[in-house]
A and B are shown apart, each in its own frame.
Chain A
Amino acid sequence: SQKIEQNSEALNIQEGKTATLTCNYTNYSPAYLQWYRQDPGRGPVFLLLIRENEKEKRKERLKVTFDTTLKQSLFHITASQPADSATYLCALVTGGSYIPTFGRGTSLIVHP
């Protein structure tokens, strides 16, 4: 069956370090993969989209990689700050579809 896995355990890191979050998937052939940030009591906010033919995408302190062989995306936040503390969701869209499937998200806690 199709599955998207994000680490259910919170990731705790120290301010200034690089946070790396993982999104693994099985039995999907995604055309697009997105990352969103969600704060408590709020809707998700779009961060980055990466296409199947792209290996890496960057935006300011954020970097996303997409390895279709490993069936994995990594989301990096460099020089992390306490304000980066939130839940981060990955979402996959297969070709020909406009409906994303979301992972459950990973909570990131950046300690000052």
Chain B
Amino acid sequence: GAGVSQSPSNKVTEKGKDVELRCDPISGHTALYWYRQSLGQGLEFLIYFQGNSAPDKSGLPSDRFSAERTGGSVSTLTIQRTQQEDSAVYLCASSRSTGFDEQFFGPGTRLTVL
């Protein structure tokens, strides 16, 4: 069956530009997570969506970062006025239920800010 997909797979942008990263979770999964992973670093939590509840935004590093999830499915992570330190791999994961469950990760979007 289809897994979690993310687009684009690679994004190169200039400092100061806005970028949008997309995540298509597994159909029926109620929970959706965004993480970022810098070279040699662990996964850094960014934001968590669960059903129709208000998202947990506690991991967003600055107000330049925002995310939305439309119709409980597709999610978009937006980074405004990108900085070089935003360069990383952005990973999306979804999971089935309201209880803690295994996460299914997408392949990630590699963002490079020049």
Which A residues contact B (CB, under 8 angstroms)? 4, 31-32, 34, 41-46, 49, 89, 91, 93, 98-105
Contacts and interface: CB of A to CB of B under 8 A. Distances in A.
Interface size class of B (residues with CB under 8 A): 20 to 34
Contacts of A99: 33, 45, 48, 56, 58-59
B106 interface: yes
A46 B45 contact: no
A101 B59 CA distance: 11
B105 A101 contact: no
A93 B102 CA distance: 11
B107 A49 contact: no
Contacts of B42: 4, 89, 102-105
A46 B94 CA distance: 12
Interface of B: 4, 31, 33, 35, 40-43, 45, 48, 50, 56, 58-59, 91, 93, 98, 100, 102-108
Given A43-B91, A98-B48, A101-B45, A93 B107 contact: no
Interface centre among B45, B59, B105 (most CB of A within 10 A): B105
